[in-house]
């Protein structure tokens, strides 16, 4: 175990794809689905099992926006900034979240490790613009106020469970 990642589980995922090189993207997607990010150890393990260079694995992992090499929060918030959401004012929602989570500069994950804030080009739910997803659950026709209320609700639930 390293950073809560089970290397046995990682190997099992790689093996479920027959350790085939062409499945590199799918393998990384499945591992990330489980651990929310790809640690250096994971990338090295993939390279070893697929018999390719670590640089090759990194090159693919860094090319695609969906892969993260940094640990993420428990809740991943994605604010859609596709055209339709943009013209229906998604930016103020994004700003409200940053302010509420006290994110500064390039910081994406809140200090308590609860939330990670990202933007996405288009979720294809333009009829519901502006759209925000939290752990893939879609919240439609959002406003900055509704967004903050939602965050407070999650924070409260988390505090109650703790």
Partner 1 sequence: MPEMTREMLQARRANAKKALAGQKKQILICAGTGCIAGGSLKIYDYMKEECARRGLCVHVNLMEEEGECSCGDNSVSMKKSGCHGFCEMGPLMQIEPEGILYTHVKLEDCDEIIEKSILGDEVIERLLYTLDGVAYAKHDEIPFYHKQHRVVLANCGTTDAEDLNEYLARDGYVAFEKALFDMTDEEICKEIMDSGLRGRGGGGFPAGRKWDSVRKQPKGKKYVVCNGDEGDPGAFMDRSIMEGNPHSVIEGMLIAACAAGSDEGYIYVRAEYPLAVTRLKVAIAKAEQAGLLGDNILGSGFSFHLHVNRGAGAFVCGEGSALTASIEGNRGMPRVKPPRTVEHGLWAQPTVLNNVETFSAVPLIVRNGADWFKSIGTEGTPGTKAFALTGNVVNTGLIEVPMGTTLREVIFNIGGGIKDGKKFKAVQIGGPSGGCLTEEHLDMPMDFDSLKKVGAMIGSGGLVVMDEDTCMVEVARFFMNFTQNESCGKCVPCREGTRRMLEILERIVKNEGTLEDLDLLEELASTITETALCGLGQSACKPVISTLKHFRNEYLAHVVDKHCPHCNGAPKVLKIDPDKCKGCTKCKRNCPMDAITGEVKQVHVIDTEKCIKCGACIKGCPFGAIAEV
Of the residues 131, 144, 147, 151, which one makes contact with partner 1 according to CB under 8 A: 131
H or E stretch covering 93: helix 91-101
Residue with tokens 């609700």: 153
User: Does 86 contact partner 1 by CB under 8 A?
Assistant: yes
User: Does 51 contact partner 1 by CB under 8 A?
Assistant: no
Residue 147 CB neighbour total at 10 angstroms: 22
- Residue 75: name the closest of 115, 103, 123, 25 by CA: 115
Of the residues 114, 126, 148, 150, which one makes contact with partner 1 according to CB under 8 A: 126
Cross-sheet strand order for the sheet of 137-139: 115-120, 75-80, 132-134, 137-139
Of the residues 4, 105, 106, 136, which one makes contact with partner 1 according to CB under 8 A: 136
Between 17 and 46, how does the x/- string for binding to partner 1 read (CB under 8 A)? ----xxxxxx-xx-----------------
Could you list the residues that contact partner 1 (CB under 8 A)?
Answer: 21-26, 28-29, 59-60, 63-67, 81-84, 86-88, 120-129, 131, 136, 138-140
């Amino acid at each position: 175990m390293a950073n809560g990642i089970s290397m046995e589980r990682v190997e099992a995922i790689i093996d479920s794809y027959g350790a085939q090189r062409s499945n590199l993207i799918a393998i990384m997607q499945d591992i990330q689905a489980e651990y929310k990010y790809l640690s250096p150890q994971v990338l090295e393990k993939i390279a070893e099992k697929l018999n390719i260079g670590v640089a090759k694995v990194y090159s693919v992992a860094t090319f695609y926006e969906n892969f993260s090499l940094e640990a993420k929060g428990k809740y991943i918030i994605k604010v859609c900034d596709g055209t339709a959401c943009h013209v229906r004012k998604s930016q103020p929602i994004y700003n409200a979240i940053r302010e509420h989570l006290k994110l500064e500069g390039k910081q994406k994950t809140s200090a308590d490790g609860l939330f990670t804030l990202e933007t996405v080009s288009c979720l294809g739910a333009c009829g519901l613009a502006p759209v925000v997803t939290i752990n893939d659950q879609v919240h439609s026709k959002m406003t900055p106020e509704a967004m903050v209320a939602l965050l407070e609700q999650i924070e409260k639930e988390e505090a109650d469970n703790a």
